[in-house]
Amino acid sequence: MSYENILFETQNGIGTITINRPNKLNALNKNTIQELHEALADANNDKQVKVIVLTGSGEKAFVAGADISEFAHFDTENGEKLAAKGQELLFDFIENLSTPVIAAVNGFALGGGLELAMACHLRIASDNAKMGLPETSLGVIPGYGGTQRLPQLIGKGRAMELIFTAGMIDASTALQYGLVNYVTTQEELVPFCYKMAEKMMRNSSVAIAAAIKSVNAGFKDGMDGYKVEISEFGNCFGTEDFKEGTSAFLEKRKAEFPGE
Ligand code: COA
């Protein structure tokens, strides 16, 4: 499958998706959102892909936001549709994938760019990264889940400050806030993500998928995360991975998970 605005390669069980519009600082236009949806769906359905790493091309930006030129003329109805479609195709879609997605934040992650990083399961940033939700400076609010996921990750007070001031924070502040898990140099960023991916790949992909479902349930309206955890915990007992993981432990050998 060939794409216009993204690069997608799979190696050693890791699917790497790179948003590739460096001249526009990888801003998310409609086509890029659609292509990301397709690549993510393909990676998630490919049993060989155990972890997905999502990054931006060039040295300047992860993603500098939704493409402002595409929505500047929108009316109320189109604005609402833009947010709904984007959340469905990309932001909620990533969060609910069964394959873990690591955001390698290699520069500006602003507006839709930070919202994209926040929809991923975890974030690693390079030391030049700058993050923020500048939408109020454009007369709008974050529409791709930013008003929900930023407070979940850094707390309500800090999230409100960032949204109201349209300010940016640097990588070390993001680390201190818990918005990113680690900060590396630019050169080390993707290799660091791969090393983390390799640690995940030693474990049961079926159990990781169940963990994603259970953690996410705690943040969903009307869902009892504890109940989902009980049910997912029980389901694990019926899997080949559970049989292999527990047998390997008792036989004092390394588990070879079939991923079933
Ligand atoms: N949508 C569309 N185009 C964007 C964009 C966005 N969100 N962010 C950057 N670009 C484009 C610029 O228009 C410019 O295109 P051009 O060369 O054809 O004029 C190109 O990317 C480079 O950006 P530029 O602004 O020249 O780079 P800079 O280093 O001076 O500034 C930023 C970098 C990130 C501070 C600045 O681009 C910016 O503020 N972007 C918008 C951020 C934003 O508000 N995002 C939220 C959107 S909801």
* Portion of the chain with pLDDT greater than 70, in percent: 100
In a domain, 256, yes or no: no
**In this predicted structure, what is the pLDDT of residue 250?**
98
Residue with CA closest to ligand 1 atom 39:
64
Same domain, 89 and 156: yes
Is a pLDDT exceeding 80 seen at residue 1? no
In a domain, 26, yes or no: yes
pLDDT tens figures, 14-59: 999 999 999 999 999 999 999 999 999 999 999 999 999 999 999 9
**In this predicted structure, what is the pLDDT of residue 40?**
98
Same domain, 110 and 235: no
Q: What is the mean pLDDT of residues 228-256?
A: 98
Cα four-point dihedral sign 94, 110, 122, 163: negative
Average pLDDT, the chain: 97
**In this predicted structure, what is the pLDDT of residue 41?**
98
**In this predicted structure, what is the pLDDT of residue 52?**
98
Residue with CA closest to ligand 1 atom 43:
65
Gap between the terminal Cα atoms of the chain: 27
Same domain, 123 and 239: no
Is a pLDDT exceeding 90 seen at residue 253? yes
**In this predicted structure, what is the pLDDT of residue 190?**
98
Q: Is the CB of 27 under 6 A from ligand 1?
A: yes
Is a pLDDT exceeding 90 seen at residue 2? no
**In this predicted structure, what is the pLDDT of residue 151?**
98
| 130: containing domain | 6-201
Residue with CA closest to ligand 1 atom 36:
64
Strand order in the sheet with 182-184: 6-11, 14-19, 51-56, 101-105, 122-126, 182-184
Question: What's the rounded Cα separation, in Å, for the pair 93 and 4?
Answer: 21
**In this predicted structure, what is the pLDDT of residue 179?**
98
In a domain, 148, yes or no: yes
Q: Is the CB of 110 under 6 A from ligand 1?
A: yes
**In this predicted structure, what is the pLDDT of residue 158?**
98
Same domain, 64 and 130: yes
Q: Which of these is catalytic: 9, 70, 95, 135?
A: 135
pLDDT tens figures, 68-101: 999 999 999 999 999 999 999 999 999 999 999 9
In a domain, 1, yes or no: no
**In this predicted structure, what is the pLDDT of residue 36?**
98
Same domain, 190 and 230: no
pLDDT tens figures, 111-148: 999 999 999 999 999 999 999 999 999 999 999 999 99
**In this predicted structure, what is the pLDDT of residue 44?**
98
**Count of alpha carbons within 13 angstroms of residue 9, beta-carbon side:** 6
What total of structural domains would you count in the chain?
A: 2
Q: Grade residue 260 by pLDDT with cuts at 50, 70 and 90.
A: very high
Q: Is the CB of 100 under 6 A from ligand 1?
A: no
Same domain, 161 and 236: no
Active site annotation includes 115: yes
Q: Is the CB of 131 under 6 A from ligand 1?
A: no
Question: What's the rounded Cα separation, in Å, for the pair 19 and 31?
Answer: 11
Same domain, 140 and 24: yes
Question: What's the rounded Cα separation, in Å, for the pair 237 and 62?
Answer: 39
